[in-house]
Amino acid sequence: MKILYGVVGEGMGHATRSRVLLEHLLTLGHTVRVVVSGRAHGFLTARFQGRDRIRFEEISGLVLGFEGNAVDKSQTFWRNLEALPEGVLKNIAVYRRVAEDGFTPELVISDFESFAHLYALNHRLPLISIDNMQVLNRCAHDEDMRGDFGSGFQLAQKLVKLKLPGAYHYLVTSFFFPKVRKPRTTLVPPILRPEILSARREPGEHVLVYQTATSNQALVDALSALPFNFRVYGLGREGRLGNVEMKAFSEVGFVDDLRTARAVIAGGGFSLMGEAVNLRVPMLSLPITGQYEQVLNGRYLERLGYGVCLESFQPDGVVDFLSRTDDFAQNLSRYEPQDNRLVLGCLEELIERRARGEHRPDRLDAPAMGKWMDPKLAEGEPV
């Protein structure tokens, strides 16, 4: 089957999980055209260089500006406005190439990427959504998980809903499994890269810190005042400031530092959180201000006893968290690590259903961690 695959470029988690799914699609014999923006383009093209039956098209996507651990709305607006004219022309050119060069996809897959969704709509093709963001919109959450969000949570739900409406099916990755409230929705475990699946947990004394905002020097200064050893990724530079070692990105080095870390301090991004939970590494989550999906991830992490979620960096909060890592590790020992078989099984079922010309399914037959259940026909919770 010919498949168009869209990957959003803001945040590398989309790229790392797409890499796993793209590898599987090629193994199954499919031909794939990938539209991708940002850093994800360089990462994926390097990974699949020289491979047959896959081709990449770079598109223009949204970029975020940061001030500390918060999205700088003004900087984000002006950066995207400045890039808009060139980006629109670039995306139109890519759209024409995909539409006119004889590729003729039969199915579209999107990891929260709008270009692929637009292509699917215009060509009346079924689209499979695979991402973690849809947990906001397609699952039910207790009041204590979202109660103090106010109208912001409802707005975030609507924005996620508008991103990829009307999909053939939604595969939602998650390490927590709330009740599925909408049909055509299946919850699956985090999609894990091979390096994580093969990593062996060996707890050490250092604390791994992942920072998405390269300008956050204040974080380094705050960490240097604490009596722990920190290894910091994401600042875009190398060096040492006392007990704080700043490291350049290295996939091998990062995975090794993760599996041997005493604990992790990072934002509320789903991919790293899912990797930490799978490796049973306690985590302190500092969600980006105003990113409700990240806050939700952090709150579920804390509810499950796998770590702590704080609204902002607090030295006393870090000390308290690190004093309780044994308790978090004990809770994490009860988590049953999953490989990628469930999500790959669901994806294969969806492709096969499409190949047979079936209408979009409300519920899949393949095993999963959560499924929609018609309240008129069933009792109890989804399985």
Please, are residues 60 and 31 in contact by the beta-carbon 8 Å criterion?
no
Q: For position 238, which CATH number holds?
A: 3.40.50.2000
- Same domain for 134 and 212: no
pTM for this model (two decimals): 0.88
In a domain, 383, yes or no: no
The set of residues, in sequence order, having a beta carbon less than 8 Å from that of 307 and lying 6+ positions away, is 263, 264, 276, 282, 283, 284, 285, 301, 321, 328
Q: Which of 226, 5, 229, 193 lies closest to 98 in space, CA to CA?
A: 5
In a domain, 376, yes or no: no
- Structural domain of residue 247, as residue ranges? 196-332
- Same domain for 326 and 282: yes
Q: Which of 2, 60, 7, 63 lies closest to 34 in space, CA to CA?
A: 7
- Same domain for 324 and 280: yes
In a domain, 380, yes or no: no
Q: Report the Cα–Cα distance between both ends of the chain, in Å, rounded.
A: 30
- Same domain for 186 and 204: no
Provide the number of structural domains found in the chain.
2
pLDDT truncated to tens, each residue of the chain (383 aa)? 999 999 987 667 889 999 999 999 999 999 999 998 888 889 999 999 999 999 998 886 454 444 455 544 444 433 434 444 555 555 555 656 665 577 899 999 999 988 889 989 988 999 999 999 999 999 999 887 876 776 777 888 888 999 899 999 999 999 999 999 999 999 999 999 999 999 999 999 999 999 876 556 788 899 999 999 999 998 888 999 999 999 998 889 999 999 999 999 999 999 999 999 999 999 999 998 778 889 999 999 999 999 999 988 999 999 999 999 999 999 999 999 999 999 999 999 999 999 999 999 999 999 999 999 877 655 555 55
